[in-house]
Amino acid sequence: MAAFKLDLLTPLGVVIRNLECDDVIIPTDRGEINVLPQHTHVLTRLGTGILTAKGSGETKYYSVTHGICKILGEKISILSMTSETAEDIDVERAKQALKKAEEKLAGAQILSDVDLIKHQRKLERAQMRIRLAYLGEQ
């Protein structure tokens, strides 16, 4: 039997419910945490990155962006603003978004603090989506 049940939820609905896992890697705003059996209870902010869920001899990957992660006993609950699987990603669109964000950040125009943060987040998300798409091909 798996050590954990994983739920991944977004404002648009349930991405996964009660996925059985033995090992979960979660991106937080302070870096990745690896959840293994008998892990301590945790409540932390979610970062932008790739959530890795291992169990039953297979590994599944999901993108997550900003939200909350709660680990309590044998239950992991992830509340993310957005989430995708590798199959959901249009790689060409992600590459275009990456190029556009890089151009905005490297451009000659001066960006406000708000625009700088916005384009940095777009850059992070595009990079993460491209990595996730290639992980799904393995």
Residues of the chain with CATH 2.60.15.10: 4-84
The whole-number pLDDT of residue 106 equals 86
The whole-number pLDDT of residue 61 equals 93
Residues of the chain with CATH 1.20.5: 89-137
In angstroms, the CA 26 to CA 48 distance is 10
The whole-number pLDDT of residue 91 equals 87
The whole-number pLDDT of residue 137 equals 67
In angstroms, the CA 113 to CA 115 distance is 6
CB half-sphere exposure, 17, CA atoms < 13 A: 3
Q: Spelled out in words, what is the top-level CATH class assigned to the domain 89-137?
A: mainly alpha
Collect the ranges in the chain with pLDDT lower than 50. Answer: none
Locus of tokens 């798996």: 2
